[in-house]
Amino acid sequence: MKTLFSNKYIWLFIIIVGLQIPLSMIELQIEDRTIQRDIAKQSVRQSWTGEQEILASLLVIPYQEKVEIDQLNSQSESKKRRYQWVNRRLYITPDKLIVESKLDNQTLARGIYKVPVYTASLKVQADYQLTKFHQLKKRDTVRLQQASFMSIGVKDSRGLIGVPEMMLSGKKLQVEPGTQLPFYDSGFNAVIPLDKLQSKTLSFDSSIKLNGMEQLSFLTAGRVNSVNVKSDWPHPNFDGAFLPVSRQVSATGYSAKWETGVFSTNIDSALQSCYQNNCNSLHSSAYGVRHIQSVDIYLQSLRSVKYGLLVILATFCIFALYEIISQKISIHPISYFLTGTALAIFFLLLIALSEHMVFALAYWISCLACSGLIAFYVTHQSQSWRQGVSLMAILNGLYLILFFIIRSEDHALLSGSLLLFFLLAAVMHVTRKLDWYQVLKVT
């Protein structure tokens, strides 16, 4: 047996390197399934809606201004002054803006893939100071038009459910599709007669139901803004230009509140740039929440495959230590190869089953199937059921540790490092009294 020891370890090295091929193929399969999942998500985006963004809200007052221009006489090359009425717009942003939003979640299926979507119920309250309007109408060079309007922008108007409600001082307005804004055309608006603008202030309310997927963002144009979002989704990711000033996140959902103002958003400057067809600064000031799947089945499966080599090495070390310590049995390299193959198939079973059931259940079914197969094989190879059962218990313990590692969002690297350390410590403890020269001596 000793004469074959060195050759056996060469074969074990070849087997371990060779098992990287099926592990790599399984990893590629997981990546392919992830791509298919993303294609399914894109299909839902096309037929449902995609990420949503709300621009709330702008009061627009069109007017004409009398301007003096110089007209060149082509024959006499002299300039003649004349007057011309030019169409212009006065944009008034809210003095105070409050947005209340509640997101109800559901899951749509595309084949075996589940895509989470939401339906948002929004209430928008905006108070306007009309000082700029009253100053404008006093000018002799200005004449007002009748069609003033209130606009709210929606990134993907396909998500609007029914007809949004728009109320002015408690009275319902007629809502029309489109914002009539040159820089944000998707959304809706309501015409406001000029006689409704005679007071110093204006109070406006809107109710909106909106379908979306993954993300809801806000572009708040008010001088003072307050945005509240509630949902039963357990894994929110708050992103954008501003983070919420307060938040509560639990397994049953979350609530978050943003408070921004004109000094932080610089909304006036951003809108001025938008009027000149450059809305980069406006869109960069968006903020909101994204619904994420904290550790989805494909990410968890991919993490588990990353530890595949570690599981195989640990199992081979157990076999080798048993050979060395007992010195009563010699395990053939083919037995190592078959055991390693069974360990690799675990990861393939895991991804296949997890697409049809809860990940934890799929994990433990795969674990028990593969560890049971290996225990059955070892029992007959060693002619001892105790060795098979003990090996199955060790493998299940190893899989249990691996399960907690791949389920961890923030401590995966730390957990994996500690596992490696304790495995090395266990091997060193078991072999601390071995004379390796004697064990590996070729006779």
3-state secondary structure the chain: CHHHHHHHHHHHHHHHHHHHHHHHHHHHHHHHHHHHHHHHHHHHHHHCCCCEEEEEEEEEEEEEEEEEEEEECCCCCCEEEEEEEEEEEEEECCCEEEEEEEEEEEEEEECCEEEEEEEEEEEEEEEEECHHHHHHHCCCCEEECCCEEEEEEECCHHHECCCCEEEECCEECCEEECCCCCCCCCEEEEEECHHHHCCCEEEEEEEEEEEECCEEEEEECCCEEEEEEEECCCCEEEEECCCCCEEEEECCEEEEEEEEEHHHHCHHHHHHHHHCCCCHHHHCCCEEEEECCCCCHHHHHHHHHHCHHHHHHHHHHHHHHHHHHHCCCCCCHHHHHHHHHHHHHHHHHHHHHHCCCCHHHHHHHHHHHHHHHHHHHHHHHHCCHHHHHHHHHHHHHHHHHHHHHHHCCCCHHHHHHHHHHHHHHHHHHHCCCCCHHHHCCCC
Q: Return mean pLDDT, the chain.
A: 84
- Tell me how far CA of residue 68 lies from CA of 65, 81, 87, 381, in angstroms: 10, 7, 14, 102
d(CA 95, CA 86): 28
Q: Which pLDDT does position 294 carry in this prediction?
A: 66
Name the β-bridge partners of 216: 52, 289
Q: What is the pLDDT of residues 268-324, one digit of tens each?
A: 888 888 877 888 888 888 999 998 876 677 878 887 888 788 788 888 887 777 777
CATH architecture group of domain 53-291: Sandwich (2.60)
Between CA 28 and CA 34 the distance in angstroms is 10
Q: Would you say residue 266 has pLDDT above 70?
A: yes
More confident residue, 219 or 429: 219
Measured CA to CA, the distance from residue 90 to residue 273 in angstroms comes to 15
- Rounded to an integer, what is the distance from CA 192 to the centroid of its chain? 39
Band of pLDDT at residue 443, cut at 50, 70 and 90: very low
Q: Give the confidence band of 236 by pLDDT, cuts at 50, 70, 90.
A: very high
Residue 88 · residue 64 · CB < 8 Å: yes
The average pLDDT across 351-369 equals 86
Residues in the chain: 443
pLDDT per position as a tens digit, 59-76: 999 988 888 777 666 665
Residue spans of the domains in the chain: they are: 2-38+297-439, 53-291
Using CA atoms of 305, 308, 309, 314 in order, give the dihedral in degrees to the nearest 10.
Answer: 160
CA distance 388 to 396: 12
**Selection from 44-53, 89-98, 145-154 with the highest mean pLDDT:** 89-98
| CA nearest neighbour of 285 among 302, 270, 263, 272 | 270
